Chains A and B, each alone.
Chain A
């Protein structure tokens, strides 16, 4: 269906609303995954759809609209984070915060199944790694984009994608493995 619309010019109001309805949830989840803040996510969502409207005519394969929107969304969310004052405090790997989190969780460790503990720690560590790493994890593991698709979408080469993916996993691994009870989740 999407192939039939937006052939060359900008989409009509109705066509664009259709795209908005179809992808609103996906885009919001994408930008929230990157920003972890509803206000920033909302800003990024709005910017994403404005950009999408302007550049819709460039999208050659309409069947890939979801993936296309996701890459715009993640890039925009990273920009929004960068513009935000004090964002560095969130994005840098704050050892103190991480250690505090672990200490708090340590109180419950004897009552939690190890798997849940790893999961909790892993998801917590995701919030602490750089947004660029979250972006790669999102596109690769949640949207199942191939390395090549990610590289093409972000206009970086495949080796850069692999490097970022490797680093992203290592960053999470470092954080999870600080507790000897935690175990690393397999790699690429």
Chain B
């Protein structure tokens, strides 16, 4: 018998030698069926209550007189990023429109327009997530030491996968997490985010030849927001900003 045959034979012996599962085959079956049943019920609930499901505010307008406006071109051929500040509030808008959001005839705070979009999420492996989405998922090639990919979550709008979340956890401290959100935006879009100036510091940074917004919260949490063709990105975590910028720059589109 040659060595490779030995190798296979031993592996097969090892493969056959298993410790019994704690539960019986039928008990495991019941657990599986119960899990499937719960998942199905959950999905039905989401579709029925779509308007009450996780809501995304697509238009948020606060106040009626913004006094300071700064346009920033993230990648000037497709996405504009407008940062508008008034008093203690700053609105960051990413849009494919060329003009900044009009400040005329804005609704007042009591008339905020919201569109609720049903959103469902599933955790899976990176490969399964790639299989599930129609766009390429990119991961950073650089991570601070001791960070490791913990989970990949795909978010669905209606039935299509539009957003992917990659969560990296510091093996030395489970509370340290770096999260990357990649949102596919093939069509024209406009998205806004409003932050409180007293709790945050917003700066423009250069990222891979384009620009991004770096938002530093009082508690040390940092977000970086930027766009590439058909995709919006959000990277967040509590690592220092140099490290997070390095992570963002290591994404090879």
- Which A residues have a C-beta under 8 Å from some C-beta of B? 13, 17, 20, 24, 28-29, 32-33, 38-39, 41-42, 45-46, 49-51, 53-54, 75-76, 78-79, 82-83, 88, 115, 119, 122-123, 126, 137-138, 141-142, 154-156, 183-186
Contacts and interface: CB of A to CB of B under 8 A. Distances in A.
B15 A42 contact: no
Main secondary structure of the interface of B (DSSP, over half): helix
Contacts of A185: 3-4, 6-7
B32 A75 contact: no
B158 interface: no
B29 A32 contact: no
B127 interface: yes
A41 B11 contact: no
Nearest to B174: A85
Contacts, number: 89
12 contacts: A28-B18, A29-B16, A39-B22, A45-B21, A50-B36, A54-B36, A54-B39, A75-B125, A82-B148, A122-B7, A142-B12, A186-B2
Interface of B: 2-4, 6-8, 10-12, 14-16, 18-23, 25, 28-29, 31-33, 35-36, 39, 124-125, 127-128, 130-131, 148-150, 171
Nearest to B126: A155
Contact of B150 (A82, A88, A119, A154): A82
A88 B171 contact: yes
B13 to A, nearest CB: 8
Contact of B127 (A33, A49, A115, A154): A154
A91 to B, nearest CB: 11
A46 B33 CA distance: 9
A76 B124 CA distance: 9
